[in-house]
Structure 1
Amino acid sequence: MAAADSSKQAARLAKWIGSFARRHGGSAEGQIAYVGQKGFRISLVAQDGTWGDLMAPSKEVAEAAVERAGITVKESFDGEMAERMRTGPYEWSRMAGIQLGGPASSR
Protein backbone atom coordinates (compact mmCIF):
# COMPACT_ATOMS: atom_id res chain seq x y z
CA MET A 1 0.00 0.00 0.00
CA ALA A 2 1.37 3.41 -0.94
CA ALA A 3 2.24 5.81 1.86
CA ALA A 4 -0.17 8.42 0.46
CA ASP A 5 -3.03 5.89 0.47
CA SER A 6 -2.22 4.86 4.05
CA SER A 7 -2.15 8.49 5.15
CA LYS A 8 -5.53 9.17 3.52
CA GLN A 9 -7.06 6.07 5.11
CA ALA A 10 -5.70 7.04 8.53
CA ALA A 11 -7.07 10.58 8.11
CA ARG A 12 -10.56 9.25 7.19
CA LEU A 13 -10.59 6.87 10.15
CA ALA A 14 -9.34 9.61 12.51
CA LYS A 15 -12.13 11.91 11.33
CA TRP A 16 -14.72 9.20 12.05
CA ILE A 17 -13.20 8.43 15.48
CA GLY A 18 -13.12 12.10 16.43
CA SER A 19 -16.71 12.61 15.32
CA PHE A 20 -17.81 9.54 17.29
CA ALA A 21 -16.08 10.81 20.44
CA ARG A 22 -17.56 14.32 20.12
CA ARG A 23 -21.11 12.96 19.63
CA HIS A 24 -20.82 10.76 22.71
CA GLY A 25 -19.40 12.90 25.48
CA GLY A 26 -16.21 14.32 24.02
CA SER A 27 -13.75 11.48 24.50
CA ALA A 28 -13.26 7.79 23.79
CA GLU A 29 -10.89 4.95 24.48
CA GLY A 30 -9.84 2.39 21.93
CA GLN A 31 -8.13 -0.91 21.47
CA ILE A 32 -6.53 -2.24 18.28
CA ALA A 33 -6.77 -5.96 17.54
CA TYR A 34 -5.60 -8.08 14.61
CA VAL A 35 -8.50 -9.97 13.04
CA GLY A 36 -6.71 -11.85 10.29
CA GLN A 37 -6.63 -11.07 6.60
CA LYS A 38 -9.38 -8.47 7.02
CA GLY A 39 -6.95 -6.25 8.93
CA PHE A 40 -7.16 -4.59 12.33
CA ARG A 41 -10.25 -3.72 14.34
CA ILE A 42 -10.33 -0.47 16.28
CA SER A 43 -12.83 -0.99 19.10
CA LEU A 44 -14.10 2.21 20.70
CA VAL A 45 -15.94 3.03 23.92
CA ALA A 46 -17.04 6.66 24.29
CA GLN A 47 -17.35 8.66 27.47
CA ASP A 48 -21.14 8.05 27.59
CA GLY A 49 -20.74 4.27 27.17
CA THR A 50 -21.66 4.13 23.49
CA TRP A 51 -19.45 1.67 21.66
CA GLY A 52 -18.54 0.79 18.12
CA ASP A 53 -15.74 -0.40 15.95
CA LEU A 54 -14.20 0.10 12.56
CA MET A 55 -11.62 -1.66 10.44
CA ALA A 56 -8.20 -0.57 9.24
CA PRO A 57 -6.26 -2.44 6.55
CA SER A 58 -3.02 -2.48 8.58
CA LYS A 59 -1.71 -1.92 12.08
CA GLU A 60 0.17 1.15 10.90
CA VAL A 61 -3.03 2.76 9.56
CA ALA A 62 -4.94 1.90 12.75
CA GLU A 63 -2.21 3.34 14.98
CA ALA A 64 -1.94 6.51 12.88
CA ALA A 65 -5.73 6.97 12.99
CA VAL A 66 -6.05 6.72 16.77
CA GLU A 67 -3.02 8.97 17.24
CA ARG A 68 -4.50 11.62 14.93
CA ALA A 69 -7.86 11.34 16.69
CA GLY A 70 -6.14 11.85 20.05
CA ILE A 71 -7.87 9.03 21.90
CA THR A 72 -6.45 6.83 24.65
CA VAL A 73 -5.48 3.40 23.34
CA LYS A 74 -5.33 0.39 25.64
CA GLU A 75 -3.27 -2.76 25.13
CA SER A 76 -6.30 -4.96 25.73
CA PHE A 77 -10.06 -4.62 25.92
CA ASP A 78 -10.00 -4.78 29.69
CA GLY A 79 -12.76 -5.06 32.27
CA GLU A 80 -12.74 -1.32 32.97
CA MET A 81 -13.44 -0.55 29.33
CA ALA A 82 -16.09 -3.25 29.06
CA GLU A 83 -17.78 -2.07 32.26
CA ARG A 84 -18.38 1.38 30.75
CA MET A 85 -20.14 -0.05 27.67
CA ARG A 86 -23.89 0.54 27.51
CA THR A 87 -26.07 -1.86 25.58
CA GLY A 88 -29.55 -0.97 24.45
CA PRO A 89 -32.60 -2.85 23.24
CA TYR A 90 -31.11 -3.37 19.78
CA GLU A 91 -28.03 -5.15 21.10
CA TRP A 92 -30.06 -7.29 23.52
CA SER A 93 -32.49 -8.32 20.77
CA ARG A 94 -29.59 -9.20 18.45
CA MET A 95 -27.87 -11.26 21.16
CA ALA A 96 -31.11 -13.01 22.08
CA GLY A 97 -32.02 -13.37 18.42
CA ILE A 98 -28.94 -15.35 17.69
CA GLN A 99 -29.83 -17.81 20.46
CA LEU A 100 -33.63 -17.73 20.51
CA GLY A 101 -34.75 -17.23 16.94
CA GLY A 102 -35.16 -13.44 17.24
CA PRO A 103 -33.98 -11.00 14.56
CA ALA A 104 -31.93 -12.72 11.90
CA SER A 105 -28.19 -12.44 12.21
CA SER A 106 -25.65 -12.56 9.44
CA ARG A 107 -24.41 -16.06 10.22
Structure 2
Amino acid sequence: MANIHDYYRKNFLYESHRLMLPELRDKVSHTCSQCKYMFLIVGKTESRPGCAALIPQYAGLAKRVPGKLDVTEVLRLVGKEGLERVLAGFEPQRQACGMFHPASVKKDGF
Protein backbone atom coordinates (compact mmCIF):
# COMPACT_ATOMS: atom_id res chain seq x y z
CA MET A 1 0.00 0.00 0.00
CA ALA A 2 1.33 3.45 -0.93
CA ASN A 3 2.06 6.05 1.68
CA ILE A 4 -0.95 8.42 1.84
CA HIS A 5 1.27 11.37 2.82
CA ASP A 6 3.25 11.06 -0.43
CA TYR A 7 0.03 10.83 -2.43
CA TYR A 8 -1.12 14.26 -1.29
CA ARG A 9 2.35 15.76 -1.67
CA LYS A 10 2.57 14.66 -5.33
CA ASN A 11 -1.02 15.53 -6.22
CA PHE A 12 -0.98 18.89 -8.10
CA LEU A 13 -4.63 19.56 -7.16
CA TYR A 14 -3.89 19.45 -3.43
CA GLU A 15 -3.05 22.89 -2.03
CA SER A 16 -2.50 22.94 1.72
CA HIS A 17 -5.47 21.03 3.09
CA ARG A 18 -7.91 21.54 0.22
CA LEU A 19 -8.35 20.32 -3.31
CA MET A 20 -8.22 23.06 -5.93
CA LEU A 21 -8.56 23.13 -9.69
CA PRO A 22 -5.64 24.84 -11.47
CA GLU A 23 -7.82 27.53 -13.09
CA LEU A 24 -9.19 28.56 -9.68
CA ARG A 25 -5.68 29.08 -8.28
CA ASP A 26 -5.49 32.60 -9.84
CA LYS A 27 -8.70 33.69 -8.16
CA VAL A 28 -7.58 32.43 -4.75
CA SER A 29 -4.07 33.84 -4.82
CA HIS A 30 -5.00 37.36 -6.03
CA THR A 31 -6.81 40.29 -4.45
CA CYS A 32 -9.24 42.90 -5.81
CA SER A 33 -6.48 45.50 -6.12
CA GLN A 34 -4.74 43.34 -8.78
CA CYS A 35 -7.87 43.08 -10.95
CA LYS A 36 -8.50 44.64 -14.36
CA TYR A 37 -12.00 45.71 -13.25
CA MET A 38 -10.71 48.10 -10.57
CA PHE A 39 -11.25 51.78 -11.41
CA LEU A 40 -11.46 55.10 -9.59
CA ILE A 41 -14.81 56.90 -9.17
CA VAL A 42 -14.18 60.65 -9.03
CA GLY A 43 -16.68 62.89 -7.23
CA LYS A 44 -16.62 66.56 -6.21
CA THR A 45 -14.76 66.14 -2.94
CA GLU A 46 -13.42 62.59 -2.89
CA SER A 47 -12.38 59.69 -5.07
CA ARG A 48 -13.11 56.04 -4.27
CA PRO A 49 -12.17 52.78 -5.95
CA GLY A 50 -14.94 50.66 -7.45
CA CYS A 51 -15.51 47.38 -9.28
CA ALA A 52 -16.43 47.73 -12.97
CA ALA A 53 -17.52 44.07 -13.13
CA LEU A 54 -20.84 45.22 -11.65
CA ILE A 55 -21.47 47.65 -14.54
CA PRO A 56 -23.06 45.78 -17.48
CA GLN A 57 -21.23 47.89 -20.07
CA TYR A 58 -17.81 46.80 -18.74
CA ALA A 59 -18.68 43.35 -17.33
CA GLY A 60 -17.96 41.40 -20.50
CA LEU A 61 -14.85 43.48 -21.28
CA ALA A 62 -16.51 44.61 -24.52
CA LYS A 63 -15.31 48.10 -23.62
CA ARG A 64 -11.98 48.84 -21.94
CA VAL A 65 -12.33 49.68 -18.26
CA PRO A 66 -11.16 53.29 -17.74
CA GLY A 67 -8.73 54.26 -15.01
CA LYS A 68 -11.04 57.03 -13.76
CA LEU A 69 -14.74 57.61 -14.25
CA ASP A 70 -16.89 60.52 -13.09
CA VAL A 71 -19.59 59.70 -10.53
CA THR A 72 -22.28 61.19 -12.77
CA GLU A 73 -21.38 58.74 -15.53
CA VAL A 74 -21.65 55.81 -13.11
CA LEU A 75 -25.01 57.10 -11.87
CA ARG A 76 -26.23 57.34 -15.47
CA LEU A 77 -25.11 53.76 -16.22
CA VAL A 78 -26.35 51.90 -13.10
CA GLY A 79 -28.33 54.31 -10.91
CA LYS A 80 -28.01 55.09 -7.20
CA GLU A 81 -28.39 51.49 -5.97
CA GLY A 82 -25.92 50.32 -8.61
CA LEU A 83 -23.40 52.95 -7.50
CA GLU A 84 -23.64 51.64 -3.93
CA ARG A 85 -23.01 48.07 -5.18
CA VAL A 86 -20.05 49.19 -7.32
CA LEU A 87 -18.47 50.97 -4.34
CA ALA A 88 -19.14 48.05 -1.97
CA GLY A 89 -17.88 45.48 -4.49
CA PHE A 90 -14.27 46.63 -4.24
CA GLU A 91 -12.12 46.02 -1.20
CA PRO A 92 -8.36 46.16 -1.87
CA GLN A 93 -7.43 43.25 0.39
CA ARG A 94 -10.42 41.02 -0.37
CA GLN A 95 -9.91 37.77 -2.22
CA ALA A 96 -10.68 38.08 -5.95
CA CYS A 97 -14.15 37.15 -7.16
CA GLY A 98 -15.21 34.95 -10.06
CA MET A 99 -14.92 37.86 -12.52
CA PHE A 100 -11.18 38.30 -11.81
CA HIS A 101 -8.87 39.21 -14.72
CA PRO A 102 -5.27 40.14 -13.89
CA ALA A 103 -4.42 43.76 -14.66
CA SER A 104 -1.56 44.11 -17.10
CA VAL A 105 -0.51 47.60 -15.92
CA LYS A 106 -1.12 49.35 -12.62
CA LYS A 107 -3.56 52.24 -13.03
CA ASP A 108 -3.33 55.60 -11.26
CA GLY A 109 -1.15 54.52 -8.37
CA PHE A 110 -3.12 51.41 -7.38
State the TM-score, normalizing by the size of structure 1. 0.27
Rg larger for: 2
* Greater fraction of residues in helix: 1
TM-score (structure 2 length as normaliser): 0.27
